[in-house]
Structure 1
Amino acid sequence: MSDVDRPGGGRGAGLLLLGVRHHGPGSARAVRAALEETRPEVVLIEGPSEANDLIPLAADEDMRPPVALLAHAVDEPGRSAFWPLAEFSPEWVAIRWALEHGAPARFIDLPATHSLAWGRDEEADETDEADKEGTAGEGDEGERATGAGAGGEARIDPLGVLAEAAGYDDAERWWEDVVEHRCVGGTGDALAPFTALEEAMTALREGHGSGGHDRDPDSASGSPVAPGQDLVREAYMRLQIRAAQREFGGGVAVVCGAWHVPALRRRATVAADRALLKGLPKVKADMTWVPWTNRRLSRFSGYGAGIDSPGWYGHLFGAVDRPVERWMTKVAGLLRAEDRIVSSAHVIEAVRLADTLAAMRGRPLPGLGETTDAVRAVMCEGSDVPLALVHDQLIVGDVLGEVPAAVPAVPLQRNLTRTQRRLRLKPEAAERELELDLRKETDGERSRLLHRLRLLAVNWGEPTASYGSTGTFRETWRLHWEPELSVRVAEAGIWGTTVRAAATAKAEADAVATQGLADVTGLAERCLLAALPDALPTVMRILADRAALDSDVGHLAQALPALVRSLRYGDVRGTGTAALAEVAAGLAERILVGLPPACAGLDADAADEMRRHLDAVHGAVGLLGDAPAPGHGDLRARWASVLRTLATRDTVHGVIRGRSVRLLLDDGELAQDEAARQMGLMLASPGTAPADAAAWIEGFVGGGSGGGLLLVHDERLLGLVDAWLTGVPAEAFTDVLPLLRRTFSAYESGVRRTLGELVRRGPGAPSGSAATGFGAPGFASGLDSGRADAVLPVVRLLLGLDEDTRGGEGGGDARAGLVGAAR
């Protein structure tokens, strides 16, 4: 019998196969106990063999799990795979034991150079990111092995089969009962769990074969059947085990997924194993350590690492005694931090309830289900709202690992790391908001870094709305670091060795590849935000070329606002915008010329879209101010002329005509009497169809433009609308009702209520009521001086006015001043 065939229970010089569940704290404790008892000469671990040189870094004091081995193709960094390791992962425990005891530790799984090339010719849209990770990473976990099998064959779930055989309907609960709650230290046989699990897996593989793991992904499409990746990996691991036995003579311990143990135990010739490895595809690959997070260990994040509750498993691994009591204390501390009333009595009662539930359910110790039920009932008063916080913060957790500076990395990653440290922007798994004041040097550099990373598709930060300030000098970012961003950084490494150089090269390439005018202008805006002056000449040249060739006014209108927004950053960011101003002025000139004919003959949908373009251009022209376009006079005055043309042209849709009148009125280019006259002509003309009149009203007071308040404060306009609406023929009313409902439903409830009150009063109300605000039901016809004097001290205190205005002479003036100030 060869060394490979020796029983797993052998000690000393024999082969020790330790079948584990990846990320299982019970398996991790069992591995540590087995290694302490047997003291092997070498520890072999399931993992890509190229990572052997990275193993010593696990002993670095700056290495804090969870971390992951990252492999990526050198020529195609997006083709990557992760091997995550948590503090409670058996593989991590084995690595740490070997380093602490001076024993060699080696990875023996199929090299990533092959696993990354496996299925390389498949269409990219047939697999998502999680599938690619699982192919060479955790998707092959022996004891889990869930998901669809290759070639459409169903892949069994070993844990599920064993749990069902034991009478459990939940594989997680079965695993907790037979492994996680089993005492493996101090007393008892440290190898007993592995012997039992190997026997179960052997019987399972005898009954189910490879369980859907032995067919090539292309076999279902009619290509020749080839051995699947699991069989190839197991053949490679057997060869590595033989090599270790020849080198060390004996005392070899292997830590691998329990599913692989029977395959590593069975007889197989060296020639047969080498035949399986012949002709495997290859790519050039690099490997490194990267930080990982608990959320990426959880199924809830979309990455099937085999555990639902990494925070809970980490607690089980770290709690030497009284795990339930310590867990309830953690939960109480979290809820107290959220201002919930939780006392020590709640903790005691929750522990008692968890123990009672475990006894009623026939479990050896309370598991996650029992503790969660107890927390919900005792500490959360039956509510799932605070329980969701417990799940998010404790059961899953926000832990982000750290790796030492000595780990291999692409030059771009090193530059990014140095910049993060210099700017004190530490990557964190928890989502947080960052307020930046661009007038400060450090905040300005932080903003430029985040904008440059976004250009490189490394979306560490997402810009969000700023509260409390509307100035262009302030930015708010929502930061959230995900492990996949390390892959994005590796991908972006092809553009340069520093963040600035890479962002510049990427922006220039994107400008050349981009076809849409609005996309190019957006890219120019992002280059200004990221302070990339070297990329701007290329982007501006392409922008000018695209603008000269694009005759679609809609495209020009979409492009102009982004350019004008970019001009506003010149003062705060210190970025030169002279070239941008010239292009913006030329773009505005083309819009002014082309807009009137482009607005003629539009249907309802096209007119509504053009109305939005009209609003955008109006805002852009307002931001441009009074800066003249070269040789063409004042842009603002010429824009007002264009709006007057649109407002009076019969071939223009009513929505655009109404919006043009409203924009002119808001800018003071049209008197209120003239606006009322325009509305009267449109609504009172017998030749105007009801649908056209309704569209005009939608353009004038609709679209969230504050039209409701305009009608509240100008009862003449409201009266015109009311008179027109009451005169609409019954047969046409049903046609205009949807448009009117859309117009008025956009108003706030208070505005709608006031409009209803004004309409109910009718035209017989006092003429001055609208102007003074008095005379409405519930108000007297004038001011009550005595009651006003009584509140003067409080109002004066609120407004910070001098005390010498109290009472006496000038009291009336004080009242008038206070009322005016309050208004």
Structure 2
Amino acid sequence: MLLGVRHHGPGSARAVRAALEAYRPQAVLIEGPPEADALVGLAGQEGMRPPVALLAHAVDDPARAGFWPFAEFSPEWVAIRWAAEAGADVRFIDLPAAHTLALRAAAEEAAEEAEEAVEEEAETEAAAVRIDPLAVLARTAGYDDPERWWEDAVEHRAEAEGGDALTPFAALADAMAAIRETYGDGGHTQDPQREAHMRLRVREARKAYERTAVVCGAWHVPALTARTTATADRQLLKGLPKVKVETTWVPWTHRRLARASGYGAGIDSPGWYRHLFSAPDRPVTRWMTKVAGLLREEDFPVSSAHVIEAVRLADTLAAMRGRPLAGLGETTDAVRAVMCDGSDVPLALIQDRLVVGDVLGEVPPDAPAVPLARDLAREQRSLRLKPEALEKELELDLRKDIDAGRSRLLHRLALLGIGWGEPAVARHGKGTFRETWRLRWEPELAVKIAEAGIWGTTVLSAATAKAEDAAVHSDALADVTAVAEQCLLAGLSDALPVVMRVLADRAALDADVAHLAAALPALVRAVRYGDVRGTDSAALGSVARGLASRICVGFPPACVGLDADGAAALRTHMDEVHRAIGLLPEARPSGPAADVTAEAPGADLRERWAGTLRALAERDGAIPGLLRGAATRLLMDDGRIEAEDAARLMGLALSPGTGPAEGAAWIEGFLSGGGMLLVHDERLLALVDGWLAAVPASAFTDVLPLLRRTFAEFEPGVRRSVGELVRRGSSMARRPATASDPGLPGFGTDLDAARADAVLHTVRLLLGTTTTTDLAARPHQDQGDQADD
């Protein structure tokens, strides 16, 4: 008996179950890789919960893998579960994964070797001849939507008319035969080999059993009924490439069943199809109840009356459109009109949560898996971190043992390239003992785990080996320091000796200040925040202090003679080094790295770095203005120089002897920390304003882009305040200069008694010190205020 189905079709699934119950075959043949025959028994265990997928990957290259997904409403899954309950034999009959993966790799290599133009032409031609048989049938029936045609012809027809569930099989077989007479293999070039292997497996089963049932895609039914010889089929399979593969069951998700994910046999609405399969009676009413429940959870005002009216509207729309039952289109239109007040915003939530869904399957613990996957599963259970398809945010308090363990696990997986979690910005608190992660489990992570299995059999050993290898083969010093930071975050103490040795060697040999500056921040973070995780970072601290000392010595010479791009790059390093040295604990180096990171006795790194910045700020034009201005601003922010000294340095940088472009670069560096200085110190603002007014017209267009870029980084409120100060000017600037008051712009030094008296009453009210005399005098004061107004 041949049962041609649509993959992941709930109507086909119900029809398959009915056919198997009626025919009671001794063997059920399923479209799938034969390597999974030994795993089919796991499908009957209680721990197996769809959606799941068969995973096959090449042993020598785990990244070369293939998936065969099954959902609760997949006809193949229904057949497997029926066979497990009935005691029937189950065999997979598709082309072996060993050939499929090898053929795919050969095709990819051929595409890479071909020229780009030829490759694009070949892809275009393949897309032109490859057809979707459901789309052809839908167009023939006068439908513009294949999903709607499938619902009307298969999913709802038997329910509405009470017909025989076996009827669609014969109809689909005839339809596919007509399509294949016209289109051949439809552009699926591997189908002849696949179907030849299917015919061979069917012949074997029919010799061994009296009653067999074949569950496969309806597209293949005409080929399986074709009259061919076993010799001809074997000839088609002769010489196919082959690789050694391993297979297992892995969890899958509804989102990965969706067509939008790129899955070739995908469907648009897996959540809707699951509902149709699990609720065959009154599906529309039950669906509207689910929608109402979801909207209520999101605080939408939805009542029982809404559900009743939505069901009535959906049924009415189905009758008007000539459909046997209301489908997804009718229910969506009814929900939009009745429950969402015509808005598409709640519909996006319904589409994501219900129509597609985030259901994640489960596989039994005894399913075959690489040792790394088993260890990861143990870690997940012990740390109570259950994989979920729906993205969630996890906030960790590293002072707690379980949260610290979760952090180490997530960092180790990230080091191995298993992106289960992604660091996020914490919403509550920014202490060093807090971490926030966004977690989402994707089925493809099973392949990543298999790939990472080459590094070790446990997460800890694999991450340790990967860190050591990454450090040894790193090209830049910054990459080694990044690995060192990852080792501390992940708690890889066994990898630190190798990483430290590589780090010390690279640090001793690398004389490029930019490389040292790029490497320092990650190293300082590791030293600074290692204690909260209970890791020993003393050796890293010695190396970090050694790097900082060398940066202090080599930074000024490295700034000489740079162009604009080089100055911009080094300015970024300057800011990062400044922050890093501010966080670095002050201590003398010790341990095995002391010989390569020697530091002068009693040296204070913060003082040495301040001296370096001061030397840069006071140098002449040999240092780019961008770096001199940035150094001045950092010194001023740290309180190393007063505002008068900053004004003096600004006056020198903006003197007539300095070119306009160099002056604009100095301003850009100085104001890179924000424009509040100009708001609170009108002396600096006047210097900038006076310099800008004196820029020649011929040079103004050259410096304008630099100034626009500088002021664009200010907060809108700061820009507005600076503009108002420039527009109204300063009261001191309008007074004539005297010996005691030179008239420089700035805040007034004298008290304006009239303005102060106007607010005295309000201040006393706020302080609760208002007297009867004040209240008696207040009316006269109000009259005076009104006269002033």
**TM-score under structure 1 normalisation?**
0.86
- Is the aligned partner of 1:512 residue 2:479? no
- Is the aligned partner of 1:618 residue 2:572? no
Please state how far the C-alpha of 1:236 moved relative to its aligned partner: 1.1
1:109 is paired with a residue of what secondary structure?
coil
- Is the aligned partner of 1:638 residue 2:608? yes
Q: What is residue 219 of structure 1 aligned with on the other side?
A: none
Q: What is residue 549 of structure 2 aligned with on the other side?
A: 589
Q: What is residue 730 of structure 1 aligned with on the other side?
A: 697
Please state how far the C-alpha of 1:102 moved relative to its aligned partner: 1.8
Residue from 639, 660, 665 that aligns with 1:668: 639
In 1, distance between residues paired with 2:39 and 2:201?
A: 18
* Correspondence 1:98-117 to 2 at 5 A: 98-117=83-102
**Aligned amino acid, residue 495 of structure 2:** A
In 2, distance between residues paired with 1:149 and 1:242?
A: 38
Q: What is residue 668 of structure 2 aligned with on the other side?
A: 698
Q: What is residue 813 of structure 1 aligned with on the other side?
A: none
Q: What is residue 790 of structure 1 aligned with on the other side?
A: 765
Residue from 438, 442, 445 that aligns with 1:482: 442
Check conservation: 1:154, 1:212, Cα contact below 8 A. yes
1:328 is paired with a residue of what secondary structure?
helix
Q: Residues 334, 627 of structure 1: CA spacing in aligned structure 2 closer, same or farther, 3 A cutoff?
A: same
Please state how far the C-alpha of 1:64 moved relative to its aligned partner: 0.8
Gapped regions of structure 2 (runs ≥ 5)? 113-121, 590-597, 734-742, 772-789
Please state how far the C-alpha of 1:522 moved relative to its aligned partner: 0.8
Q: What is residue 231 of structure 1 aligned with on the other side?
A: 192
Residue from 469, 472, 476 that aligns with 2:429: 469
Please state how far the C-alpha of 1:613 moved relative to its aligned partner: 0.8
* Correspondence 1:447-462 to 2 at 5 A: 447-462=407-422
* Correspondence 1:323-334 to 2 at 5 A: 323-334=283-294
Q: Residues 200-255 of structure 1: CA distance to partner in whole angstroms, max 9, x if unpaired?
A: 111111111111223xxxxxxxxxxxxxx211111111111111111112x21100
In 2, distance between residues paired with 1:78 and 1:365?
A: 45
Quick one: percent identity of the two aligned structures? 67
In 1, distance between residues paired with 2:704 and 2:606?
A: 36
**Aligned amino acid, residue 781 of structure 1:** A
Q: What is residue 401 of structure 1 aligned with on the other side?
A: 361
Check conservation: 1:114, 1:280, Cα contact below 8 A. yes
Residue from 11, 36, 53 that aligns with 2:38: 53
In 2, distance between residues paired with 1:63 and 1:565?
A: 44
2:93 is paired with a residue of what secondary structure?
strand
Q: What is residue 58 of structure 2 aligned with on the other side?
A: 73
Check conservation: 1:458, 1:485, Cα contact below 8 A. yes
Residue from 642, 650, 656 that aligns with 1:679: 650
In 2, distance between residues paired with 1:579 and 1:791?
A: 57
* Correspondence 1:116-265 to 2 at 5 A: 116-123=101-108, 154-183=129-158, 188-214=163-189, 229-249=190-210, 251-265=211-225
Q: What is residue 75 of structure 2 aligned with on the other side?
A: 90
Q: Residues 53, 711 of structure 1: CA spacing in aligned structure 2 closer, same or farther, 3 A cutoff?
A: same
**Aligned amino acid, residue 741 of structure 1:** R
In 1, distance between residues paired with 2:123 and 2:225?
A: 26
- Is the aligned partner of 1:657 residue 2:628? yes
In 2, distance between residues paired with 1:27 and 1:627?
A: 73
1:356 is paired with a residue of what secondary structure?
helix
**Aligned amino acid, residue 187 of structure 2:** G
In 1, distance between residues paired with 2:67 and 2:666?
A: 59
Check conservation: 2:135, 2:146, Cα contact below 8 A. yes
Q: What is residue 724 of structure 2 aligned with on the other side?
A: 757
1:781 is paired with a residue of what secondary structure?
helix
Count of aligned pairs: 742
In 1, distance between residues paired with 2:333 and 2:749?
A: 59
Q: Judge which range, 117-126 or 55-64, deviates more.
A: 117-126
**Aligned amino acid, residue 720 of structure 2:** R
Q: Judge which range, 62-71 or 766-775, deviates more.
A: 766-775
Please state how far the C-alpha of 1:784 moved relative to its aligned partner: 3.1
In 1, distance between residues paired with 2:518 and 2:166?
A: 70
- Is the aligned partner of 1:336 residue 2:296? yes
* Correspondence 1:326-365 to 2 at 5 A: 326-365=286-325
Please state how far the C-alpha of 1:126 moved relative to its aligned partner: 5.2
Q: Residues 628, 681 of structure 1: CA spacing in aligned structure 2 closer, same or farther, 3 A cutoff?
A: farther
Please state how far the C-alpha of 1:172 moved relative to its aligned partner: 1.4
In 2, distance between residues paired with 1:413 and 1:429?
A: 18
Please state how far the C-alpha of 1:780 moved relative to its aligned partner: 4.0
In 2, distance between residues paired with 1:149 and 1:175?
A: 28
Residue from 47, 52, 58 that aligns with 1:62: 47
In 2, distance between residues paired with 1:547 and 1:396?
A: 52
Residue from 22, 35, 41 that aligns with 1:37: 22
2:241 is paired with a residue of what secondary structure?
coil
Check conservation: 1:625, 1:636, Cα contact below 8 A. no
In 2, distance between residues paired with 1:237 and 1:123?
A: 25
Please state how far the C-alpha of 1:303 moved relative to its aligned partner: 2.8
Please state how far the C-alpha of 1:351 moved relative to its aligned partner: 1.9
In 1, distance between residues paired with 2:138 and 2:710?
A: 61
* Correspondence 1:242-641 to 2 at 5 A: 242-249=203-210, 251-628=211-588, 630-632=598-600, 633-641=603-611
Q: Residues 610, 770 of structure 1: CA spacing in aligned structure 2 closer, same or farther, 3 A cutoff?
A: same
Check conservation: 2:258, 2:266, Cα contact below 8 A. yes
Check conservation: 2:158, 2:164, Cα contact below 8 A. no
In 2, distance between residues paired with 1:713 and 1:125?
A: 67
Please state how far the C-alpha of 1:355 moved relative to its aligned partner: 2.1
**Aligned amino acid, residue 610 of structure 1:** L
**Aligned amino acid, residue 313 of structure 2:** L
Q: Residues 696-753 of structure 1: CA distance to partner in whole angstroms, max 9, x if unpaired?
A: 1111012xx12x1111111111121122222222222222222111111211111112
Check conservation: 2:546, 2:599, Cα contact below 8 A. no
Please state how far the C-alpha of 1:349 moved relative to its aligned partner: 2.2
1:389 is paired with a residue of what secondary structure?
helix
2:394 is paired with a residue of what secondary structure?
strand
In 2, distance between residues paired with 1:671 and 1:487?
A: 60
Q: What is residue 784 of structure 2 aligned with on the other side?
A: none
Q: Residues 579, 783 of structure 1: CA spacing in aligned structure 2 closer, same or farther, 3 A cutoff?
A: farther
2:105 is paired with a residue of what secondary structure?
coil
Q: What is residue 715 of structure 2 aligned with on the other side?
A: 748
Q: What is residue 815 of structure 1 aligned with on the other side?
A: none
Q: Judge which range, 157-166 or 81-90, deviates more.
A: 157-166
2:614 is paired with a residue of what secondary structure?
helix
In 1, distance between residues paired with 2:159 and 2:308?
A: 28
In 1, distance between residues paired with 2:265 and 2:66?
A: 13
Q: Residues 245, 62 of structure 1: CA spacing in aligned structure 2 closer, same or farther, 3 A cutoff?
A: same
Q: What is residue 818 of structure 1 aligned with on the other side?
A: none
Please state how far the C-alpha of 1:765 moved relative to its aligned partner: 5.3
Check conservation: 2:731, 2:748, Cα contact below 8 A. no
Q: Residues 100-140 of structure 1: CA distance to partner in whole angstroms, max 9, x if unpaired?
A: 1222222111221221222434546959xxxxxxxxxxxxx
Q: Residues 154, 736 of structure 1: CA spacing in aligned structure 2 closer, same or farther, 3 A cutoff?
A: same
Q: Residues 625, 532 of structure 1: CA spacing in aligned structure 2 closer, same or farther, 3 A cutoff?
A: closer
**Aligned amino acid, residue 624 of structure 2:** H
Q: Residues 58, 174 of structure 1: CA spacing in aligned structure 2 closer, same or farther, 3 A cutoff?
A: same
Please state how far the C-alpha of 1:781 moved relative to its aligned partner: 3.2
Please state how far the C-alpha of 1:396 moved relative to its aligned partner: 0.6
Q: Residues 259, 666 of structure 1: CA spacing in aligned structure 2 closer, same or farther, 3 A cutoff?
A: same
